[in-house]
Amino acid sequence: MARALEPQRRLLAVYTGGTIGMRSEQGVLVPGSGLAAVLRSLPMFHDEEYARACGLPEDTLVLPPAIPDQRVIYTVLECQPLFDSSDMTITEWVQIAQTIERHYGQYDGFVVIHGTDTMAFAASVLSFVLENLQKTVILTGAQVPIHALWNDSRENLLGALLMAGQYVIPEVCLFFQNQLFRGNRVTKVDSRRFAAFCSPHLPPLAVMGTDVTINWELVRKARGKAQLVVHSSMERDVGLLRLYPGIPAALVRAFLQPPLKGVVMETFGSGNGPTKPDLLRELRAAAERGLIILNCSHCLQGAVTSDYAAGMAMAGAGIVSGFDMTSEAALAKLSYVLGHPGLTPDDRKEEADAIREALVPSLACAAAHAGDLEVLQGSDLSLESFNGQTPLHAAARGGQPGAVTMLLRRGVDVDPRDEDGLSPLLLAVKGRHRGVIELLRAAGACLSLQELEDAGTELCRLAARADLEGLQSWWQAGADLSSPGYDGRSALLVAEAAGNLEVVTFLQNLKGGAGVQAPGPATL
């Protein structure tokens, strides 16, 4: 999706509190009101002359032009009361979602100004509460107040306004330190540095530098013209329990008592925990009562697997793998699934099973992505993940030739499309997983006409960056490497202009040799 080019784009900036607007009172920082007035006094946030010429109301500001002929006009809605985000809960986040819903028709995008301490929770919850988004929603905040001489507030807020004002990225995102992340993939990792957040398992959706680079292949596609739905019935009785060496079974038992309905259990390494029989007994008993236990690793990188005997799978089938979810996202998802009308555990086993399935719709996808052939062997391959990805998508994304081979042998569809229209072959190309590309091509997978059409611009980008492996992956997948990019230039011309000799030689050899088209099944 391209940059939105209407002459005026209107945003709603919902100011909920946080350091960004805080002031010092008796030596401590407290939430501060009047952010709009502060922004109005800063030329980078407001062009008074333009505002006057347009007769904009008092609470509405306009950014100076970032690109010719386009203005980002934004209204700051200050919440009452303002919060240090440590005090925010699901209730406040649902209210934010309802505010967005109330104003959805009037604005082109939304920025939520929020404290950083719980921003990853907020972004995760909003990503589940707001369904069918067609507009950009970006959370941002700062580590140092906007009043300070040296601060990150201005850069973060301006970046968020520009991203939401200029691009249609129809999902809940978090913008910090020049990077736009998927909201339910982030975690706060630093309380002092300006780079406060990281997204351990998903690259940024966009990076703002000299240019704005958007990873469109990662950006979720809007689903047709479906109406925005706000899921306000989130379950509040969910909890987070971090295992530690020697944790007493009695403590776990006390924690897991009703009214708790679901718990995210943070485990060691790839999903392991103590194997003491009394502890496992407590976990099993809780799962049998219908309590949903979602296993997430407290490691930042890696995922929950079934590699170890100490894996939590030992505690019984009732424990669901959270795979690579952050604890914040897992808690939000648990709250969403348990709050879903029609999915109430009520001690009834079938419903508890349905909830487990909804939480991790496909264990097969997790196993395929991790290349865990043992689990994959025994998994139901018909289940898709939340965005319609099949185990083959997951195996291709994870670059797992073993899993791909096993799935193909089991007769899965070689060219399925997920809800965003992506195929396993395209995911393998993006990941440069040459072995997987080869297997999929040999099984008859082809890039779609649309994928082939879109390839030109991507090929030019790879050529400019001297990314030979990327180009080879596209070629191997059957793309026509002479396809022009958006400006009509081919990858070869771009590589020549950039002086990327290795790429030039590769592309010239293809041209002069067997043809630019890769061998193999037809490419439509």
Q: Which residue, 108 or 152, is less far from ligand ASP as judged by CB?
A: 152
CB 132 within 8 A of CB 228: yes
Q: Which residue, 72 or 157, is less far from ligand ASP as judged by CB?
A: 157
Q: Which residue, 145 or 339, is less far from ligand ASP as judged by CB?
A: 145
Rounded to 5 degrees, what angle do the CA atoms 396, 400, 406 make? 95
Encoded tokens for 7: 């002459």
Cα–Cα distance, 17 to 468 (Å, whole number): 47
Residue 40: CB minimum distance to ligand ASP, A = 22
Cα–Cα distance, 436 to 72 (Å, whole number): 44
Q: Given the structure tokens 């080019």, which residue do they identify?
A: 5
Residue 2: CB minimum distance to ligand ASP, A = 33
Q: Which residue, 141 or 262, is less far from ligand ASP as judged by CB?
A: 141
Residue 117: CB minimum distance to ligand ASP, A = 3
The answer to whether the Cα torsion of 483, 486, 488, 492 is positive or negative is: negative
Residue 19 falls in the annotated catalytic set: yes
Q: Which long-range contacts (CB under 8 A, 24 or more apart) does 149-153 make?
A: 152/177, 152/194, 153/19, 153/20
Q: Given the structure tokens 């590699």, which residue do they identify?
A: 307
Pick from 366, 406, 408: which is nearest to 385 by CA?
366
Pick from 157, 138, 161, 162: which is nearest to 146 by CA?
157
Residue 122: CB minimum distance to ligand ASP, A = 10
Residue 159: CB minimum distance to ligand ASP, A = 16
CB 176 within 8 A of CB 207: no
Cα–Cα distance, 230 to 249 (Å, whole number): 39
Residue 188: CB minimum distance to ligand ASP, A = 9
Encoded tokens for 231: 């899921």
Q: Which residue, 84 or 357, is less far from ligand ASP as judged by CB?
A: 84
CB 66 within 8 A of CB 162: yes
Q: Which residue, 124 or 473, is less far from ligand ASP as judged by CB?
A: 124
Residue 119: CB minimum distance to ligand ASP, A = 7
Cα–Cα distance, 13 to 395 (Å, whole number): 40
The count of residues in the chain is 524
Binding stretches for ligand ASP (CB under 6 A): 17-19, 84-86, 115-117, 141, 143
Residue 15: CB minimum distance to ligand ASP, A = 12
- 16, 19, 136, 305: the catalytic one is 19
Could you give the C-alpha distances from 471 to 276, 429, 453, 457, 486, in angstroms and in order?
A: 52, 9, 15, 12, 17
User: Could you write out the three-class secondary structure of 434-486?
Assistant: HHHHHHHHHCCCCCCHHHHHHHHHHHHHHHHCCCHHHHHHHHHCCCCCCCCCC
Residue 339: CB minimum distance to ligand ASP, A = 25
Q: Which residue, 18 or 485, is less far from ligand ASP as judged by CB?
A: 18
Cβ-closest position to ligand ASP = 115
| Strand, helix or coil for residue 373 | helix
Q: Which residue, 84 or 307, is less far from ligand ASP as judged by CB?
A: 84
Q: What is the secondary structure of 323-366 as a DSSP string?
A: TT--HHHHHHHHHHHHHSTT---TT-HHHHHHHHHHHSS-HHHH
Q: Which residue, 124 or 476, is less far from ligand ASP as judged by CB?
A: 124
User: Could you write out the three-class secondary structure of 25-36?
Assistant: ECCEEECCCCHH
Q: 350: which residues sit within 8 A by CB, 6+ positions away?
A: none
Q: Given the structure tokens 């950039």, which residue do they identify?
A: 498
Residue 180: CB minimum distance to ligand ASP, A = 18
Cα–Cα distance, 288 to 285 (Å, whole number): 5
Q: Which residue, 84 or 438, is less far from ligand ASP as judged by CB?
A: 84
Catalytic residues: 19
